[in-house]
Structure 1
Amino acid sequence: MRNVKYLEMEKLLSNSTLGKPGQTWSKEEYRLISVPVQAFEIILTEKPELTKAENTKNTNIQDTKRPERCADHLLKNAKKASRVKSMANNLTTTVYHHTNEEGEKGIFESGFIKQADRKNGDAVYGTGVYVCRKGPEYSKEEIAKNNYDGSTSFYQQQIDKGKANVVLEIEYERSKVIPVDADGRDVCKIETNIPVRNIKQVHYR
C-alpha cells in the first residue's frame, strides 16, 4: 500500500479481533493476513495533498445545491416521523393494571397479565384483564374505590392486601381496550392475556 501510516496500522491491528489486545504486526505479516486489505487501505491511507491549482479547482465546483437538498431531506424525514408517531398514538393507548407485589411476581414469571375468569367469580363484567386510566398519581384509596365495588370496608380490605401498591403502566391497542358500564367508575377490560412486553413501566408505592 502507498502512503500508509505505520503507527496507525499498528494501532488498528492491535485493537482488532485479529489477535490479542496489544499484539502488533510487521508490514510483512500484515501483507499475509487473510483479511480484505482494501478496508484497511481506506482507513489507513493518507489523504493526498492537493496542489494549490487543484484546491482552487475544487472550490470552484462545489455543489451549492447540497445544503438545500440536505435540508429538504431532513424536513421530509421529520414530517414522516411525526406522521408515524401520530398514527402510533392514535392506534395505542395507555392504561393501568393495579396489583400487589405477589401479583406482580406472578405476572413476570408467567410472561402475561392473565385474564380474570368470570367462572371464578372475580370478573363481574366478563372474562378479561381489568384496567383503568387512573395511574400512580391517584391515591391508593382512590384506586381501590374505583377498582372495587362494595362498601368502604371492602375497599380498605383491598388496600390492606396491597392491591394498590403496584401500578403496571401498559400500552395497548386502543380498539381492544373495552370500557365497561361500572356505575360511573373508570373500568375497562382487555379480552386476552397481556404479554409483559406491553408493560412500559412499573410504579411502586
Structure 2
Amino acid sequence: MPGAADHKNGNRDDDGTPPSLVSALIEADLARVFRFLCGYAARAKLRRLERELHLKSQAMASHAANATTNVPEAWGAFATDAYEIMEVLSEGETEQVDALRREILAVTRDVGAAKADGPITCNDLCQLLKDMSLPLSKVEVEHMIWEVDEDMDGCVSMDEFKTMFSRCVQDHHGVEPTQLYHLVQFLIYDQDFNFKLT
C-alpha cells in the first residue's frame, strides 16, 4: 500500500534538498529587521539632531517671551544697551539653530539616499547596541560582522543576513557564530523596536 513515504519527493523540494527552515513568516520578519538595521546610525543621528533643534527652538521662544524681564532693574539707564546685547546673543543662537537645520537637512538627504536593501554597516550595529544599552567596542562589532560577512566587504547584505539566520537555525552542534543571530532573534520578537519584550 503506497504511503506518504513512498512519494518520490517526500518532504523534499524538487531539487532534493529539505524545505527551507525559514518560513514565509520568518522571511517577512527578517526583512522587517533588516530594513530597521539598514541606515540605523543615520536615522538615530537625525532623531538626535531633531530633538536638539526642538529644545533650542523652545529655549529661544521662552527667551523671546521673557525678553522684557531679563534686564535687571539695577541696569536702569542702560536697559537699551542690555537689549542690544541680548539681541546680539540671540543672533548667535539663531546661527546655531540655522546650522543645526542645515545639518538636519544633510542627514535627511543621507537617510533618503540610503537604499532600503543596502547593507548593514558597523556604524549601524554600534549605534543600535548603544541605544539598547549594550555598547560593544567597534572591534567587537566588526568581529560580529566578520563572522557572517561572506564577501568580506565589512557589511552584512540581505543574502548574508538570511544565510546567517538559516545556518544558525539548522546548527545542531553549536559551531555557527551566533552573536548577530541572537540580536536578530530579539528584534524579531521586539515588534515595536523599543528594545523591550513584554
Bin the TM-score by the shorter chain: under 0.3
TM-score normalized by the length of structure 1: 0.26
Greater Cα radius of gyration, structure 1 or 2:
1
Higher strand share: 1
> Using CA pairs below 8 Å that are at least 6 residues apart, which structure has the higher relative contact order?
2
TM-score (norm. length: structure 2): 0.26
Name the structure where helix makes up a greater proportion of residues. Answer: 2
